[in-house]
Amino acid sequence: MCLPIACSSQPQTNSVANQPLIVGVPPWPGFAAQYVATDLNLFKAEGIEVKEVFFPTQSDPNTALLANKVDLALTGVPDLVPLAQRDTSIKLLMLFDYSDGSDGIIGRDISQPSDLKGKTIARENLLFEVLLLRRYLEKGGLTEKDIKIVDTSAANAAASFAAKKVDVAVTYDPWMAKAAKQGGGKILFTSKDSNIVPDGLIAKEKVIQTKRAEILAYMKAIDKAVKLVQQKDEKAIAIVAKRLNVTPEEAAQQVGGVKLFGIEDNKNIVFNPQHPRNVFDSLKFAAKTAKDMNLTPVVVDVNKIYDNSLVKSL
């Protein structure tokens, strides 16, 4: 189920396309630039019309992209690995962020990773959540065979923890911190100072070829929005707060839990193999884990699942 939100329904005088770009968007602080660019009409300023389709869970935009219901999707990039097994034409075009503390594991009466043995843990069956949980389990010498997993959305996982229906939950903001407090627990482990969970923009090759000019204009608008959010512009933070259904103070805190990337950051960090936080290392870890977890039959060649030519051309 999704809620369509059109960012602009007025005809464009200088549009580079007759049809709007349709973008699938879930709730996540790292996608703040999308929310801001939509509400401040930054796409219109770049001469394009963007129709935003809001989805309640992270996996829904991926499903919509596979079904050709959206042109672009914002998603957790590790999920691109199993997606690429289903459609080899899907590519990563740019990162919006690395989670820098806004993805995590919350627990009650857990003092160390080994305490998870025998516990019931709620998490969504998304690769980036699998990766996060796996990292924490490894610290305690455990695997997923040592726990009981309840497969549910990140929002439901947080709600279940808050209601004390599960011992542990893998989730992310805007729900993580609030659920930890409501459930009488604490945040055990997060994505802080890591590149475990990158989030970005993906599309199919056909869309990249036929709507290249529109995607470039889209990226320019996103770049402007990133700068506003990084500057903690009052209007921008208010927009993010409204979208995530939190207070402006909470929104500012949650945005602080992600490392946002504009165009230059994508050039100099994300697609730079020499930089320690490049996306290639993250994708390789995701590809290996996906194979180990039998999410893919082989280790996906990460060199075939990105297209940095658009970013480089800007």
- Collect the ranges in the chain with pLDDT lower than 50: 1-17
Predicted confidence at residue 295, as pLDDT, reads: 85
Structure tokens at 311: 């970013």
The pLDDT assigned to 117 comes to: 96
Could you give the angle at the alpha carbon of 188 between the alpha carbons of 182 and 60, nearest 5°?
A: 75
For residue 239, the tally of other CB atoms under 10 A from its CB is 23
Q: For 189, what's the count of Cα atoms within 13 Å in the CB-facing half-sphere? A: 23
**CA of residue 277 relative to chain centroid, distance:** 16
Q: Is the dihedral of CA 7, 309, 99, 119 positive or negative?
A: positive
pLDDT for residue 18: 65
Give the 3-state secondary structure percentages of the chain, helix then strand then coil, rounded to 5.
45, 20, 35
Burial 109-142 (b: 16+ CB within 10 A, else e): ebeebebbeebebbbbebbbbbbbbbbbbeeeeb
What is the pTM assigned to this prediction?
Answer: 0.84
Closest CA to 73 of 90, 97, 98: 90
Euclidean distance between CA atoms 207 and 96, whole angstroms: 19
Written as one letter, the residue type at 193 is D
Q: What are phi and psi of 18, to 5 degrees?
A: -85, -30
Measure the CA angle with vertex 239, ends 162 and 13; round to 5°. 140
Res 7: pLDDT: 39
